[in-house]
Structure 1
Amino acid sequence: MIKTRVVYFVSAIGVLTMMPCRGQDELFTLTLEELQNVPISVATKTDIQLKYAPSTVSYFSAQQIKLLGIETLSELFAHIPGFYSMYNSVDGNQSYLIARGHPQKYANTLLVLMNGQRLNEDYTGGINYIDRFVSLHNVEKVEVIRGPSSTLYGSNAFHGVINIITKVDNYLALSVGSFAKKEFNGGIVRQFDDLKLGMDVHWYEDNGDTLDNVFDRFALQESTNDEHASKQLELLASYKGFTFRNHYFNSTRNNHYLFRRLRDGTNKVDTKHWLSRLEYEARGQDVWNLNVGVEYSKAKRKSLSALELKGTGPFEQGDFLFGENFTHDSYRVNADYSVQIADSHRLSVGTEVVHSQVPGGYLRSNYDIFGELDFFGEVIELTQPNQRIVQDKKRKIRMVYGQLESNWSEHWRSTFGLRRDGYNDVDDKTNPRMTVIYTPSQTHIFKLIYGEAYRVPSLGDLYDEESGLTVGNSQLKPTTLESLEIVYQYVNQVFTFSTSFYRNNISDLIDFRVEEDNVFLGNIADNKTEGLELEWRARLFPNFELKGFITHLFNNKTTIEQGQTTSPSDKLVPKTYAMTSLLYSPSQYWSMSLSMSSRSSVDTLTDKDSNKILSGTVNYQMSSNSTLTLNVNNLLDKTYSTASIIPFGEKAGKPFGEYRARGRDIKLSYRYQF
């Protein structure tokens, strides 16, 4: 198998290098100083130059994402300073995202937006139950806030915000690759005077990698695979100031781990997500801006696994199969208004109303788990009112915020903001933020940032009833964050450097509380983290660039309530993690990159080893409208694992909780632009 992959990789490179050259790559047309002047909106909801953003912000253009070989949201995390993905190759509920030293299931301390609309749902508060494998094939740009942002975005904008901005275009793209991978992407857009209509389609499937030497509590199998399929659809309609977008995401994963168990042929997870948003935007030159939007979101998750084998306990007639079927609905209305006051100040205000609920929360099984464990003979969805496993409670949120951006002089700027969120089922919360920026010259920038944020308990946290995942607690308090950050940036034509020192104090972390024979969720821990993010970008030659970052944690201490046990962050999080990328464009027709992600040891992994993974991309512009791309992830076919936030068994007498990652993954793509 390995020999075949190597031949495939070398052959593909050979085909690329023998082709004639035509076309143009735009990656190196801007200086690094000009890139710092790119306008972004995620940090203030108004356009502002990247270098003057009142937050620590990362920006990814479409060209950069393509050259770095970033294909999904999950892969993007590895290129963001402060972030490290412990997401495994299956959509399991025990994988997690690390953000500034804090590990969190479902990534529910990160807010993910698609064209400004929330991907997070309110059952988990995160993105894991929807689709962290969202494809970035038609992305226009991605803007990322690193740090607390609840003053603008409310709950879950705790450690950061990612806004994925897409573009519907006229093109066709085909891909093939390892693991019998097949992919189709296509788009069409038409303009009729003031009316614009567009559609983008994504279809993907693979047979998965074969993962050997896995842990199986049933001792029936020593290998598995991680078969995956996904579909996406985006519809666009705009007329004058009105824009309508509809997104549909579907992801299906077979085999691998589910509920911390292996059972090939049975394990399956299917997630669906619909996003719809209608918005109206009006501008008064550069003086004022109004945005009004109406949103609807629906998410569904359906799963099935084998919890016990035939012949175990009362399960004499067949394996005990277990799964879930959850549905989440959300309606949201917002209005944001910004106005320039004199020449030096800009005032922004906004309001938002949200209604969300879990109208469907049921279990699936082939045994009557709410009765006498009678055998059904087939998998039945248990939908009687007394069989609900998530109470159908409605969440209502009312929000208002204000923000003042001030340009006091050539050297001093400030941003002050305040937001109040009112909930019907948890405590209300007020979140302030303050940023002061000092620029003694165009080359040097200093920022002092103070912010507060919160993660409100999700509907699952509050209202789960024996779902097989959690037992809810309606008395939970929001998890809160106080953050202080000091930033220095150096900017010139060929070199940029930034250093960000942050101190985070987190209170009322939510995890499992044990009291006698009862296990339920509670606010059982606090965390204090101090860390440093170093980020650089050097244009060594006009067509050669080195970029990367290092995140180092000086202190990462979790204080756990006496008598309770949880996995502390310092055991789950590497002390240092980094990404380094070389980007090279030898001619106007060719561009390529080589990236290495690395981390120090993780205590919960069996070998505790540090890790370094290489990935590479080659782009060849065949003509003005056609491109050939080769992506290779895990270039050296390294065997490594990601940790589980909770162990799922014992191996050799010790707790075991880790997921094998895929080996070398190759994809060859052709894109034609109409």
Structure 2
Amino acid sequence: MHLQPPSPLPAPLAWTGPIKTPLASALLALLPLAQAQGFEDYDEVIVSATRIEQPVEDVNASVQVISRERIEKFSGRSISDVLQSADGVLVRDGGSTSTISLRGFDAGHTLILVDGMRRTEKYAGSNVNNVSLENVERIEIVRGPMSALYGSEALGGVINIVTRQAEGSPSTRAKLTLGATDDGQRETALLHLSSGWAGASSSHRVGLEAKYRDPFRLDKDSLATDLRQEQRLFLNYDGRFNLGADAKLGISLEYLDQDDEGTGLDRFGTPYDQIEQETRHFAGATYSNRLGQGTLSLNLGYGSSSATVNRGTVTDETTEFDEFQTEIAYAWEASEAHLINLGAGYRSDDVEISLLSKQADRDVSHVFIQDQWAISEQVELTLGGRYDDYSDFGDTFNPRATLAWRPGDWGLRVSHGTGFKAPTLLNLYMQDMVRGRYLIRGNENLQPEESKTTELALTYGFDLGQVEFIVHDSSLTDLISSQATGNLVGGLAEMVYQNVDQAEISGAEFLLDLEPADDTRLRFGLEYLDARDALSQERLTDRPRWQMHVGLSKQIGRTSLDLRLRHMRDFWATDPVPFASPYASNFTTASLHLDYELSPSINLFGGVDNLFDQEMPENIAFRGTPDDPGARYFFVGVKGSL
């Protein structure tokens, strides 16, 4: 093996031993994930904060990378829109907020990171719609349990949003997008601006994204808004500094202002104002340097959120959230056959939510280690584990192992790992949250939710692309849900969070990535899912049995065409009314995007989402809210660069 010295911008470690390194380690260290391959190119490499480079087709994990080039083929509304077509992903996009699920796991079992670090959010949760799409370089998705390196919430997998970095040469970009549904609703204006400059030993980038979107109503005569009016402003800065020799420093700053409004109806039909407001700041720093035979990396991040929300409550619900996180890691070659990653970190959450019985503080310390062992020319074993210690409920250890065999163009891998999710601060400390006829309260004695997952994958690479078949099986225990106590409080039924539920989730994925010609790209995915309550064997709701997505990209002269199709079959869910029984529904939607190169520096683009104006069945729509934009949506725009 050979460790490359860092270049003026952070460079990868390249393992040139007998077998290529699995992407598992490259993607799964709790550090900012760096440059990756473009979706449109097979020969690019993925580079992680462990500084290990590897061609995407050689990875030993279920991974998808969505490049900036691919992101440009969407309407630009949000990251949720981009993730709708990703493998194994289920998105419930309500515009103001969204939830992301992987492989049938609950949304809270998917860890969302930005440059390998967490972001603060209202209710101490996560919302990818509050991440600037203008600032995204690519999105990396790892399906499968990743708590062995990422910690809490990574039961179903990890989605890491990698932001754009400062470039070595000056550049200025602008993009304007206008859109609306075909009945004149959801009028949208999106403005993306960025500028970069460089000096002898530094480079800098600033970006701006401004968004305004009118509300949407399924019934235009209704007072209630199904999708709220959205207003967002994003500002960001990235700086890269060469400190001499091999030392590199990166600085990132982010600002978000969200001010969304809508109208709801209570059970008596009386309208009320809905609000979704948040101001967020984030500052991060990364440092890397050669040390001995390896590379030392240090990451620091501080974020704060101040939010006010009213989705139908008597009083506004507020969140004040401050978070500090840091991690130090060292990657080195212990021998020609072993590449070791070792790290330790700390996170401090200070949260004050109006729904909590007290101000909540949580401190988390962790250590992790991973060994990538090239047993032979064709066989590789990756072993890793992470220990987390929480100040409010205790500690947990989560291991993971992957054995990969690569005889020529074929690949076979088997992996097993555990995952966990710490009880949320709402689970622990909620006081008297009224939802309908229920009064929901927290429980300070909760334990983490846990999972065990086994995965088997067969891959085959050929001249025109790659095909992959994956089966996975998971068991989940100590799942947290609100349980009736039998007590009435002020005429409301008391519910308290308890560790009571168990689940079994199994499935299969067939994925094809094909490039039959230099100007044509085809991607096909078919996914099967069986998710059940482990005790009753009843199907878990809010999940499709089958999901299919097809994407076709074609370059015709100066015009690029992108067509996407998504189908959900046997989606098992209830209507958003009390005591409703679940039933199965189907839903199909298509999108078209065209881009014309007017000149080397100016492009015109446009497209249609929900091409055939399909109305989402009520039981698929999340709590009655259809996926944004709600109906057939047209958009046009212009983008240019200097």
TM-score with structure 2 length normalisation? 0.83
Deviation at 1:211, TM superposition (A): 1.8
Aligned residue identity for 1:115? D
Superposition pairs for residues 103-122 of structure 1, below 5 Å? 104=106, 107-119=107-119
Deviations 1:42-64 (A, max 9, x none): 8x674333233332110111112
Q: Distance in 2 between matches of 1:268 and 1:613?
A: 30
Query: What do residues 83-124 of structure 1 show as CA deviations (whole Å, max 9, x unaligned)?
Result: 111333453xxx74432122x3xx321111212221365954
Return closer, same or farther for 1:144/1:261 CA change in 2, 3 Å cut-off: farther
The answer to whether the aligner puts 1:337 opposite 2:313 as a matched pair is no
Query: Per the alignment, in what secondary structure is the counterpart of residue 609 of structure 1?
Result: strand
1: distance between equivalents of 2:263 and 2:51? Answer: 41
Contact 2:148 2:398 in 1 (8 A): yes
1:361 corresponding residue in structure 2: 353
CA shift, 1:416, in A, is 0.6
In structure 2, distance between residues paired with 1:261 and 1:631 = 41
In structure 2, the residue matched to 1:488 is 458
Q: Which amino acid aligns with 1:111?
A: L
* Distance of aligned partners of 1:223 and 1:350 in 2 relative to their CA distance in 1, 3 Å threshold: closer
After the TM superposition, which residues 362-381 of structure 1 pair with which residues of structure 2 at under 5 Å, given as runs?
362=354
Provide the C-alpha distance between the structure 2 equivalents of 1:547 and 1:537, rounded to a whole number of angstroms.
Answer: 5
The equivalent of 1:83 in structure 2 is: 89
- After TM superposition, the structure 1 = structure 2 runs for residues 220-619 of structure 1, keeping only pairs within 5 Å, are 221=223, 226-240=228-242, 241-255=248-262, 266-283=273-290, 287-307=293-313, 321-358=314-351, 360-362=352-354, 389-441=356-408, 443-468=409-434, 470-517=440-487, 518-553=494-529, 555-559=530-534, 570-587=540-557, 589-606=558-575, 608-619=584-595
Aligned partner of residue 63 in structure 1, secondary structure? helix
Deviations 1:3-50 (A, max 9, x none): xxxxxxxxxxxxxxxxxxxxxxxxxx9998x626522428x6743332
Distance 2:400 2:503 in 1: 20
Q: Which amino acid aligns with 1:296?
A: Y
What is the deviation of 1:183? 1.5
The alpha-carbon distance between structure 1 residues 114 and 30, as it changes in their structure 2 partners (threshold 3 A), is closer
State whether residues 147 and 158 of structure 1, in contact with CA within 8 Å, keep that contact through their aligned partners in structure 2: yes
Q: Which runs of 5+ in 2 are unaligned?
A: 1-36, 181-185, 243-247, 488-493, 576-582
**Using the alignment, how far apart are the partners of 1:573 and 1:431 within structure 2?**
27
Report the counterpart of residue 127 of structure 1 in structure 2: 126
Structure 1 range deviating more: 165-174 or 610-619 = 165-174
Q: Which position in structure 1 is the counterpart of 2:641?
A: 673
Deviations 1:249-288 (A, max 9, x none): 2333222559999876611111333221111112469x52
The CA deviation string for residues 575-624 of structure 1, in whole angstroms up to 9 with x for no partner, is 0112111111112x211111011101333245843000011111111121
Q: Is the 8 A contact 2:587 2:617 kept in 1?
A: no
Q: Does 271-280 or 392-401 show the bigger shift?
A: 271-280
Q: Distance in 2 between matches of 1:294 and 1:134?
A: 19
- In angstroms, what is the RMSD of aligned CA positions? 2.8
Cα 1:448–1:642 change in 2 (3 A) is: farther
Higher relative contact order (CA 8 A, sep 6+): 1
Cα deviation per residue 1:496-544 (whole Å; 9 max; x = unaligned)?
1111100011111111111112311111201111100111111223212
Distance across 1 between alignment mates of 2:47 and 2:540? 34
For the pair 1:147 / 2:144, whether they are aligned, the reply is yes
1:63 aligns with 2:60: no
Q: Tell me which amino acid in the other structure corresponds to 2:70.
A: Q
1:132 alignment partner, SS class:
helix
Alpha-carbon spacing, 1:47–1:250, altered in 2? closer, same or farther (3 Å)? farther
Distance 1:197 1:98 in 2: 35
Q: Tell me the equivalent position of 2:30.
A: none
**How far, CA to CA, are the matches of 2:67 and 2:614 in structure 1?**
29
Q: Distance in 1 between matches of 2:553 and 2:268?
A: 41
Is contact 1:412–1:439 with CA below 8 Å preserved after alignment?
A: yes
Amino acid at match of 1:500: I
TM-score, structure 1 as length reference: 0.79
Tell me how far apart the structure 1 counterparts of residues 268 and 524 of structure 2 sit (CA, whole Å): 37
Paired AA for residue 187 in structure 1: S
Contact 2:95 2:129 in 1 (8 A): no
Give the letter for the 1:172 counterpart.
Answer: A
| Equivalent-residue separation in structure 1 for 2:38 and 2:111 (angstroms) | 30
- 1:162 Cα shift? 1.3
Tell me, yes or no, if the aligned pair for 1:31 and 1:493 is still in contact at 8 Å. Answer: no
Report the equivalent of 2:611.
635
**241-250 vs 132-141, which moves further:** 132-141
CA distance in 2, matches of 1:403, 1:640: 44
Q: Is the 8 A contact 1:46 1:338 kept in 2?
A: no
Answer yes or no: is the 8 Å Cα contact 1:533–1:549 preserved in 2. Answer: yes
Does the aligned pair in 1 maintain the 2:441–2:497 contact within 8 Å? yes
